[in-house]
């Protein structure tokens, strides 16, 4: 389902939602590089060299959450079901940490969501 979504609202790297919540997840994605506007062209590592202090918080516009792969959760560990709400970014059940996370990466992930 294409919702014509093309932008992130906000993102930050290094955000600590809650140590207990984040510690419950393993880190599954790091070192994302997106040089185009297609997630399929992005590169990333499923091995990491970071800690949860580099986990990514993201907010997207006009997106339907829960699509396979990426999801956002709030401080209660509930899946974010509304656009424009920031949450901890998960990929395949683990956090995404990246000290070089940028707007192009955020936009690509948001497009992948919807």
More reliable by pLDDT, 19 or 88: 88
Using CA atoms, how far residue 17 sits from 23, 36, 48, 88, in Å, is 10, 29, 19, 7
What's the whole-number average pLDDT of the chain?
Answer: 80
Average pLDDT for residues 10-34, to the nearest whole number? 80
Q: What pTM was computed for the model?
A: 0.74
Q: Which two tokens stand for residue 55?
A: 């986990």
pLDDT bracket for residue 3 (50, 70, 90): very low
Q: Which residue blocks in the chain are alpha helix, DSSP H?
A: 19-23, 103-113
Confidence of residue 14 (pLDDT cuts 50, 70, 90): low
Do 41 and 35 touch, CB atoms closer than 8 A?
Answer: yes
pLDDT of residue 2: 42
pLDDT, average across residues 24-48: 91
- Which of 41, 46, 47, 51 is CA-nearest to residue 99? 51
In this predicted structure, the answer to whether residue 110 has a pLDDT above a threshold of 70 is yes
Q: Is the pLDDT of residue 31 over 80?
A: yes
Separation between Cα atoms, residue 53 and residue 68, nearest integer Å:
25
Q: Which two tokens stand for residue 85?
A: 């709400």
Please write the tens of the pLDDT for every residue from 86-100: 888 999 889 998 888
């Amino acid at each position: 389902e294409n919702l014509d979504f093309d932008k992130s609202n906000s993102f930050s790297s290094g955000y600590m939602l809650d140590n207990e919540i984040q510690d419950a997840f393993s880190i599954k994605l790091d070192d994302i590089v997106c040089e185009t506007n297609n997630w399929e062209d992005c590169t990333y590592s499923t091995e990491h060299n970071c800690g949860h202090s580099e986990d990514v918080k993201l907010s997207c516009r006009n997106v339907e959450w829960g699509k396979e792969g990426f999801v956002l959760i709030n401080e209660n560990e509930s899946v974010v079901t509304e656009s424009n709400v920031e949450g901890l970014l998960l990929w395949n059940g683990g956090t995404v940490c990246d000290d070089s996370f940028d707007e192009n990466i955020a936009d690509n992930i948001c497009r992948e969501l919807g």
